[in-house]
Amino acid sequence: MMHTLFWILPEVWLSTIIFLLLALDLKWGEEKHPLMGLIAIAGMLPLFPILFLLAKEGGSHELFSGMFRVDTMALFFKGIFTVSGIVALVLAREFGKAVDRAHGEFYLLFLIAVLGMFLAASSANFLMLFISLELVAITLYVLVSYLHTNLQSLESGLKYLVLGSLSSALFLYGIAFIYGTTGSLHFETIHAMSLRAQTLPAGLVFGILLVLAGILFKAAVVPFQIWAPDVYQGAPTPVTAFLSVGSKALAFLVALRILQELFLPFSMAWNSVLVFASGATILYGNLCAIPQTNIKRFMAYSSIGHAGYLLMGITAGVDIGSAAVSYYLLGYLFTNLVLFLVITAVTLQTGSDEIKSFAGLSKRSPFLAAAMFIGLLSLAGVPPMAGFFGKFLLVLSALSQGYLTLAIIGAVAVVISLYYYLRVVQTLYADEPVDATPIKIGTTMKMSIVACLIGIFVLGIWQYPFLAISIRSIQHIF
Amino acid sequence: MGIPMGPVSALVLSPIIGAILLMMVPQGRDKWVRWIATAFTAVPLLIALHCVYHYDKVLGGYQCLEKISWIPTLGINYQVGLDGISVVLVLLHSLCSFTGVLVSYRVQKRVKEYYIFYLLLIGGVAGVFASLDLFFFYLFYEMAVIPMFPLIGIWGSKDKEYATMKLTLYLTAGAVLALIGLSIVYLASGAQSFDLIFLERYLMQNPLPTQLQVWVFPFLLFGFGVIAPMWPLHSWSPLGHASAPSAVSMLHAGVLMKLGSYAILRIAMQLLPAGAQFWMPWVAIIAIMNILYGGFVAMAQKDIKFTIGYSSSSHMGYVLLGLACMNPVGLNGAVLLMFAHGIMTALAFAAIGHIYDQTHTRITAEWGGLARQIPFVSTLFIMAAMASSGLPGFANFVSELLIFFASWNVYRWSALAAIFGIVTTAFYMLRTVRTAFFGPLNPKWAELKDATNFEKIPYLILLAALMIVGIWPRSLLEIISTATPNILAHLK
């Protein structure tokens, strides 16, 4: 039996790295120090064995009088946050070479956001959850507007700040209503009450819906998706990558926790809303992605579409649906990261985010073009890539709950998405490059791309072990 | 978990392994690329010949089975095997793909990438024919569709960008529709299994409610029907043929289109027999639309690839009619026609490709008198045209005859219309042959070169297959007819 404090080792380790970087940043001052990024990345790596050890131990463990809980789902999501954090740092290092303002604090902020996500994953109390989410949100506000001489970055930062604060307020207001009707902020207590409940108090429904609005905002789901394209486009690319993966995973983690774990007995209060939101989001994201000419904006709409798919799994809440959410997120993680790695490599060279600037990439760098091709196909859900099996599970789970229309919308959207993804592929392979100079990439970038590609194929071909992990990850919910 | 080692897995995986090897070949080594591609498609051809030769006709059923539990939670197994129908289609596929690789030696642009995608396409199609698990069936099906996109988009001609997008979207739309149908069958059966052999037996004893079958059947029928190509969902197909490079047209018209009717036969009709009983009379009508509409449109074409393209969709109508009969003669005829038509179209597209690469035009009227200049290639096309028109001595004749016999008692009017379809075929085929190959030689083509000895190899392989089966149809019919009773047992 391990000491209870052992369970917060990942958070403690991460905080240590953060303080180390803070000290180093003070010491090294304004100059860009090449070691800073490397220390941040290397500091993240030990998290994998730690998380693995904890997952092997298994079980659900409460600390700090029930504020903090470590279960398999928390560990699973911490793994996702770690991967997205590492890749974001790799991108940030690459990005830092090209812009004048990228000092230690850029890395530091990423690490703090990851810490916030870790805490949120283990929150077992609404207050704790709110504080961790705010920790993430505030670091992200800074990160989005990091390029403070760039008007677009500032604009998107401001937009994110205003709308994000609004959603936080809604979330908090919802918590107040939940507290008002249940008399507790503690997940265990609320869960026990919802199991015993005979009636559905109106105040609680209102509270749940408000909390839901807060989550849907973070996940960029219709009707709270308006911010995403502008913010994705304006933010520095590493931040966009982190938003599209880490932040999205966080939103769905919270959705699984609150909706599936706490309020499943009240599913009639939120399920029809989610079914509608899911269908609308899938259609909105996929249709709006068609006319995009800017690759980051394009990725924003595509990620809205994927949020719709993930929501499908939450509405079809029985075990296979929730496991599908975990699986889909895992596949989406590697896929989106590959794409952002390629996008960063190309845009840093060409200095433009326009899709046009990717023309003839297959001649400039066959490796990057192939990676992007595979990534786009995986997003579209083509086998044998990761995206396929995730979508397959989601459609299966939606059908098993009798949501035929939703499943058909999801299936039709696959065709729509294939259209716009393949148009990018056409640009990569069939168009002539404007400038045929080969694109060179560094070793860390190349290694990250290869690692993510391996992830995509392994998840797409050898599904069983990962499906088993996904199923284990949701065991403590029910 | 074991490693798939049997002959059928080797047949499916060999092209895929070849594609992975090709990725590692350094740029510019085109010769290596061609040799690797040839070797990794020759192996499946040998295996397919072996399987056909050693298929136990007395035993029947699925043979060379391999099964590995893949995702036990959902009841998904990697399971491959061949019965009398799929073994014939696998033979067709490996003939077309091997000769396709040889014909592609003419490709000069981005050779390595071309063969990577081509081998992936071959592996995907082989996987569909060999899979006996619904999940893997679908997986291979989609894997076969996607490589077409770059193959046509990069190496194609004319409206290639429009054609390739249309083709990919149509086929994917059909695939996802079918996926919904498959998922409903899986969930409704309650057997928790994607295993096709198990489901066949299970659903025979516990059939799904008739009403459910009737409304799920269209998902599978039209979903797979897109690739068949079933009228009015066929319009992607002639366009795709016309824009694709010749080896891809060979595989596309020769094999890919057969996936649709194969899937309808193997999955839709077997798992949803009551649905089939309800919908097949409609299919017989659609089949006539295919035959006549395709035939008439083919008559009006100026571009020879479009003529053959529409002709293909017209001939797939006969296959559908054969399936719709739901009797042994009809099914045997349909499967034999899939084989015969596949070889014949591959031959026709190979010949057209040979000429087009030199003339850079496919307008039939601009050719003229080619039989004088390039007698060998012209003869090939003329043989293919004769086979297609249903001349006795070719397998097409035998199979179409079987389909007429089968449909005469079931759908009398459709049978009459189908027989009339033969006239349209003869009309456009003979006219094409006359305009393109006879008459005075167009002086522009005085420099045209006939096939070299090496180039003759793939052509002769296809021609030999066409002739052997035509003269001796029993060789395949005996194998096919071991499988049809099993399928019809479900429909009773």
**What confidence category does residue B1 fall into, taking pLDDT thresholds of 50, 70 and 90?**
very low
What pLDDT score does B362 carry? 86
Instruction: Give the 3-state secondary structure of residue A137.
Output: helix
B20 pLDDT above the threshold of 60 = yes
| Residue in the structure block whose two tokens are 């096919």 | B480
* Mean pLDDT value across chain A: 89
Contacts B172 to A, Cβ<8 Å: 414-415, 418
Tokens of B83: 């019965």
What one-letter code names the amino acid at B309?
G
Q: Which of B375, B427, B423 is nearest to B400 (CA)?
A: B423
Closest-CA residue of A relative to B70 is A464
Say how many CA atoms lie within 13 Å of B365 toward its Cβ. Answer: 3
Using left for φ > 0, alpha for ψ between -120 and 50, and beta otherwise, residue B198 falls in alpha
Best of A385, A415, A421, A453 to disrupt the B interface (most B CBs within 10 Å) is: A415
Query: B73, A392: Cβ pair inside 8 Å?
Result: no
Q: Parallel, antiparallel, or unpaired for β B76-82 and B63-71?
A: antiparallel
Who among A382, A411, A419 is closest to B180 (CB)?
A411
What pLDDT score does B367 carry? 84
Residue A377 lies in a domain: yes
Torsion of CA A123, A124, A125, A129, to 10 degrees: 20
Say how many CA atoms lie within 13 Å of B58 toward its Cβ. Answer: 0
A478 pLDDT above the threshold of 60 = no
Q: Is A5 on the interface with B (CB under 8 A)?
A: no
Count up the domains in chain A and report the number.
1
CA distance B235 to B294: 10
Contacts B143 to A, Cβ<8 Å: 382-384
The per-residue pLDDT for range B382-401, each reduced to its tens digit, is 999 999 988 888 888 889 99
Closest-CA residue of B relative to A389 is B139
What pLDDT score does A272 carry? 87
**What confidence category does residue A476 fall into, taking pLDDT thresholds of 50, 70 and 90?**
low
B-side interface with A, Cβ within 8 Å?
27, 70-74, 113, 135, 138-139, 142-143, 146, 149-150, 153-154, 161, 165, 168-169, 172-173, 176-177, 179-180, 183-184, 186-187
Torsion of CA B257, B262, B267, B272, to 10 degrees: 100
**What is the full DSSP assignment across A362-392?**
HHH-HHHHHHHHHHHHHHHT-TTSHHHHHHH
Query: B150, A392: Cβ pair inside 8 Å?
Result: no
Instruction: Measure B280 CA to nearest chain A CA, in Å.
Output: 24
Contacts A426 to B, Cβ<8 Å: 153, 161, 165
In chain A, positions 333-362, which contact chain B (CB-CB < 8 Å)?
362
What one-letter code names the amino acid at A425?
V
With a pLDDT cut of 90, the percent of chain A lying above it is 56
Q: Which of B172, B241, B198, B223 is nearest to B77 (CA)?
A: B198
Tell me the pTM: 0.92
Q: Which helix (H) or strand (E) holds B439?
A: none
A128 pLDDT above the threshold of 90 = yes
Report residue A125: phi and psi, to 5°.
-150, 140
Average pLDDT over residues B289-304: 90
Query: A463, B187: Cβ pair inside 8 Å?
Result: no
What pLDDT score does B3 carry? 57
Contacts A411 to B, Cβ<8 Å: 176-177, 179-180
Chains A, B: CB contacts within 8 A come to: 75
Q: How far is CA B115 from the centre of its chain?
A: 20
Residue A198 lies in a domain: no
Using left for φ > 0, alpha for ψ between -120 and 50, and beta otherwise, residue A294 falls in beta
Average pLDDT over residues A154-179: 93
What's the full length of chain B, in residues?
Answer: 492
The per-residue pLDDT for range B89-102, each reduced to its tens digit, is 999 999 999 999 99
Q: How far is CA A135 from the centre of its chain?
A: 16
Contacts B177 to A, Cβ<8 Å: 411
CA distance B181 to B276: 14
**What confidence category does residue A31 fall into, taking pLDDT thresholds of 50, 70 and 90?**
low
The per-residue pLDDT for range B159-171, each reduced to its tens digit, is 888 989 999 999 9
CA-based max dimension of chain A: 69
Average pLDDT over residues A85-103: 82
Contacts A395 to B, Cβ<8 Å: 179-180, 183
Using left for φ > 0, alpha for ψ between -120 and 50, and beta otherwise, residue B75 falls in left
Best of B116, B179, B192, B219 to disrupt the A interface (most A CBs within 10 Å) is: B179
Q: Are B388 and B315 in contact (CB under 8 A)?
A: yes
Who among B73, B74, B179 is closest to A395 (CB)?
B179
Q: Which of B290, B311, B288, B289 is nearest to B299 (CA)?
A: B311
Instruction: Measure B282 CA to nearest chain A CA, in Å.
Output: 24
Tokens of B45: 């051809």
Q: Are A6 and A43 in contact (CB under 8 A)?
A: no
The per-residue pLDDT for range A254-298, each reduced to its tens digit, is 998 888 888 888 888 888 889 999 999 999 999 999 999 999 999
Show Cβ contacts of residue B355 under 8 Å, excluding neighbours closer than 6 positions: B367, B370, B374, B377, B448
Report residue B351: phi and psi, to 5°.
-65, -45
Instruction: Measure A418 CA to nearest chain B CA, in Å.
Output: 7
Average pLDDT over residues A353-368: 89
Average pLDDT over residues B23-37: 87
Instruction: Give the 3-state secondary structure of residue B31.
Output: helix
Instruction: Give the 3-state secondary structure of residue A448.
Output: helix
The per-residue pLDDT for range B332-380, each reduced to its tens digit, is 999 999 999 999 999 999 999 888 888 888 888 888 888 888 889 899 9
The per-residue pLDDT for range A344-360, each reduced to its tens digit, is 999 888 888 899 999 98
Q: Are B448 and B366 in contact (CB under 8 A)?
A: no
CA distance B152 to A425: 13
Q: Is A463 on the interface with B (CB under 8 A)?
A: yes
The per-residue pLDDT for range A50-82, each reduced to its tens digit, is 999 998 887 888 888 888 989 888 999 999 999
Average pLDDT over residues A114-127: 94
* Mean pLDDT value across chain B: 89
List strand residue ranges (DSSP E) for A64-222, in order.
Answer: 68-70
Contacts A383 to B, Cβ<8 Å: 138-139, 142-143
CA distance A136 to A115: 8
* Structural domain for A416, as ranges: 266-478
**What confidence category does residue A101 fall into, taking pLDDT thresholds of 50, 70 and 90?**
low
Instruction: Measure B136 CA to nearest chain A CA, in Å.
Output: 10
DSSP state of B360: -
Query: B169, A418: Cβ pair inside 8 Å?
Result: yes
Q: Are A237 and A106 in contact (CB under 8 A)?
A: no
Instruction: Measure B108 CA to nearest chain A CA, in Å.
Output: 16
